[in-house]
Amino acid sequence: MPVDTSVNAHDASLQGLIDLARYPLDDLDGAAGRELIDRCRRQLEVDGCVVLKNFVPEAALARLERETERLSPAAHYNQTETNPYNSAADPDKPAHHPVNRFDDRTNGFVAGDRIGDETIIRQVYQNADFQRFIATVVGMEDIHQYADPLADLVVNVLREGCQHPWHYDTNEFIVTMMTRQSHGGGRFEYAPGIRSPEGENFEEVEQVIDGDRSRLKSLDLQPGDLQIFFGRYSLHRVTPVEGNKERHTVIFAYAKEPGFIGRPERAQRIFGRMAPVHERLLKEGMQRSDALAD
């Protein structure tokens, strides 16, 4: 009988894949692990974002960048005009209102079924210690990998001129890792807590769109940096990429409950295709356990 030499990413060690001396995900109950979690939680509470610099050790950075370089030709590009709310315009509101302010959103996405178990990013994404760390930091008892084979683990590819204009996230939180930085542009900027469940704060949102930088924070993300971000209430963008070097960012997608599958029409738009599970949902009707928009 042949020996199974495939990688079980759920059980694979993070040794060598992340800097465990600086970020002891393998000992979160120890003093250093508890201090790390407390520090991340405090930072998230202050402005809804924490960046773990050099999360991937120097020895693994070249391999990490090669991974997404190898995967990037499989990216499907899509272009849309969008406002910060991913909604239609409102003719009853003036042209300068944020809901009527549209900008170009052009970027590429490599689907999860193109990312093998042998990759660093897949091993980190599926690792139980990593998942426990993320869940603990964001204040959840458990998080679950997407059951969506296209959207579970994604590489975002921004080539020259591509951008994410001002927007909010619909999901609870997002976890990303920079793997390749562009020659210019591609900066992550955000306005922490500019809106709340109590109100949209359209006036200040309009000021940001008009160029007011007084409440903005700008991150100098580098390859190997991990970012945990609450984007539901913080307006944010990635500025247009400059130069002929692509910007690559890995998106680790988790949900509160198991079995999460994205909407078929979203898969078609973002990845240019659907998986069999999406085609089945189209026939059976979309049933979701949450009320979140994609």
H/E stretch holding 254 reads strand 254-255
Q: Enter the pTM of the model.
A: 0.89
Higher pLDDT, 194 or 291: 194
Per mean pLDDT, which range of 75-79, 130-134, 187-191, 286-290 is the poorest? 286-290
- Residue matched to tokens 């991937």: 56
Work out the average pLDDT over 96-108: 97
Helix, coil or strand: residue 154:
strand
Helix, coil or strand: residue 252:
strand
Helix axes 128-137, 31-47, angle to 10 degrees: 50
Say what the pLDDT of residue 11 is: 53
Q: Residue 86 — pLDDT band, cuts 50, 70, 90?
A: confident
Helical segments of the chain, H only: 31-47, 58-71, 120-126, 128-137, 202-209, 264-271, 276-284
What would the pLDDT profile of 235-280 be if each residue is shown by its tens digit? 999 999 999 999 999 999 999 899 989 889 889 989 999 999 999 9
- How far apart (Å, rounded) are the C-alpha atoms in residues 294 and 275? 17
Work out the average pLDDT over 214-224: 95
Domains in the chain, CATH or no CATH each: 48-284 (2.60.120.620)
